[in-house]
């Protein structure tokens, strides 16, 4: 149950921060944000505030911000439609009753001849069995009412497409950007809680009954050499140990100003389908205020570099698709991380936030990066891509992503149960 709660909190935070970035910059640009959703499927909880419907949905598989201009449910008023109109105190149309007009006895029934709810905000038409043409001015925040569900209209200046390329790009980029910001904040918090990992190969704790303890390693020891190789960083020492499972190693240590020569035999463990060595020591931490402040930025940069490098290897075939993990694999990894303590769980959340930010910036249709690519093409061409073509490409991209998710999830299940 602890893992379930931890996974839900972690997932909810990552999605919330991402979609909150999209929402804030949509509102800053004056775009009507119709819905801010965590999850997909049926609504579990919802409320409306400042024109936006906030929802938590049943299937925890992501989230979205639905903005004006991407509204398949908005009804197009065509000539011959019979609609009901309700008016505000200024005489402007405030509600457009599309159906179930008998439930609105005070509505004025009109046969539509022409309607412009994008630019002029006018409905032209006739009362039933009357010949006098009437013109009705529409309030910019008027509501469609269909099946007793109210949806606010969106004049063109409130739609995504009406904004400048810079505003649209920023609204799309804001989601991944907020994931990087979250990672920086979490890594910084970790820096202040536990200190900053030392760049040197210096020991923090030595585990009891470990190869390091048996070899006589002590907290504060610094590794100078291992197996004849000079050791300058913790990563150098870790790599050498991992490459020598069950092999006795000669290690030169610096302790209290003197040099010690010891031997240690790393224990063999299985990690990511390979056998590596482990001696049972943890890295030392420094208590430097400056390094604590910068830790969030340096760690976010280093993890971003590592993730991009691995993505490059995946594209070039150096990594197999079998090494990717989906929700099932992430849940299993979260279960393992939760058992190791709160600080490791916070670290894991920060790493996943970096990963989510980078993946969403990939130039793949249906992702934020794919939509940014269309804006880049528009900048080069001097005109936007045809909406129908963009929609078709996005649909294909979404279908391919869905297929990839199915394959990755199947691989996760095989690793767990087969």
Task: List the catalytic residues.
Answer: 19
Task: Give the number of other Cβ atoms within 10 Å of residue 320's Cβ.
Answer: 10
How many angstroms separate the Cα of 354 from the Cα of each of 182, 234, 334? 8, 23, 16
C-alpha 66, offset from chain centre: 15
CB 39 within 8 A of CB 58: yes
Q: In angstroms, rounded to a whole number, what is the distance separating the alpha carbons of residues 10 and 84?
A: 47
User: Which residues make beta-bridge pairs with 229?
Assistant: 226
Helix, strand, coil content of the chain in percent (nearest 5): 45, 30, 25
How many angstroms separate the Cα of 261 from the Cα of each of 198, 241, 264, 306? 22, 16, 10, 34
Q: In angstroms, rounded to a whole number, what is the distance separating the alpha carbons of residues 60 and 38?
A: 7
Q: Which residue has the tokens 């976010």?
A: 300
Q: In angstroms, rounded to a whole number, what is the distance separating the alpha carbons of residues 66 and 68?
A: 7
């Amino acid at each position: 149950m602890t893992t379930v709660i931890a996974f839900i909190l972690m997932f909810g935070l990552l999605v919330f921060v991402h979609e909150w970035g999209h929402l804030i910059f949509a509102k800053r640009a004056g775009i009507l944000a119709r819905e801010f959703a965590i999850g997909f499927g049926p609504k579990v909880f919802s409320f409306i505030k400042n024109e936006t419907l906030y929802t938590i949905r049943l299937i925890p598989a992501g989230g979205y911000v639905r903005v004006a201009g991407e509204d398949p449910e908005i009804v197009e008023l065509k000539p011959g439609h019979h609609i009901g109109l309700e008016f505000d105190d200024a005489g402007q149309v405030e509600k457009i009753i599309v159906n179930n007009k008998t439930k609105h006895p005070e509505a004025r029934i009109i046969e539509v001849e022409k309607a412009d709810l994008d630019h002029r905000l006018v409905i032209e038409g006739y009362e039933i069995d009357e010949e006098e043409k009437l013109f009705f001015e529409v309030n910019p925040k008027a509501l469609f009412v269909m099946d007793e569900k109210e949806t606010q209209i969106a004049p063109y200046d409130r739609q995504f497409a009406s904004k400048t390329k810079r505003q649209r790009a920023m609204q799309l980029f804001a989601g991944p950007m907020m994931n990087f910001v979250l990672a920086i904040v979490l890594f910084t918090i970790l820096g202040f809680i536990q200190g900053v990992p030392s760049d040197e190969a210096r020991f923090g704790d030595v585990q009891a009954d470990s190869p390091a303890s048996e070899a006589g390693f002590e907290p504060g020891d610094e590794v100078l050499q291992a197996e004849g190789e000079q050791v300058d960083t913790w990563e150098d020492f870790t790599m050498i140990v991992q490459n020598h499972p069950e092999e006795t190693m000669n290690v030169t240590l610096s302790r209290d100003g003197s040099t010690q020569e010891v031997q240690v035999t790393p224990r063999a463990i299985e990690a990511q389908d390979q056998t590596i060595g482990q001696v049972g020591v943890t890295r030392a931490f420094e208590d430097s205020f400056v390094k604590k402040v910068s830790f969030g930025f340096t760690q976010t940069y280093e993890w971003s570099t590592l993730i991009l490098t691995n993505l490059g290897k995946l594209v070039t075939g150096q990594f197999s698709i079998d090494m990717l993990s989906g929700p099932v694999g992430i849940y299993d990894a979260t279960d393992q991380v939760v058992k190791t303590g709160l600080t490791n769980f916070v670290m894991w959340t920060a790493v996943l936030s970096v990963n989510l930010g980078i993946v969403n910036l990939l130039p793949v249709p249906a992702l934020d990066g794919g939509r940014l690519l269309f804006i880049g093409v528009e900048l080069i061409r001097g005109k936007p891509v045809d909406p129908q073509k963009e929609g078709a490409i996005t649909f294909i991209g979404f279908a391919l992503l869905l297929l990839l998710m199915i394959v990755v999830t199947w691989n996760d299940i095989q690793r767990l149960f087969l």
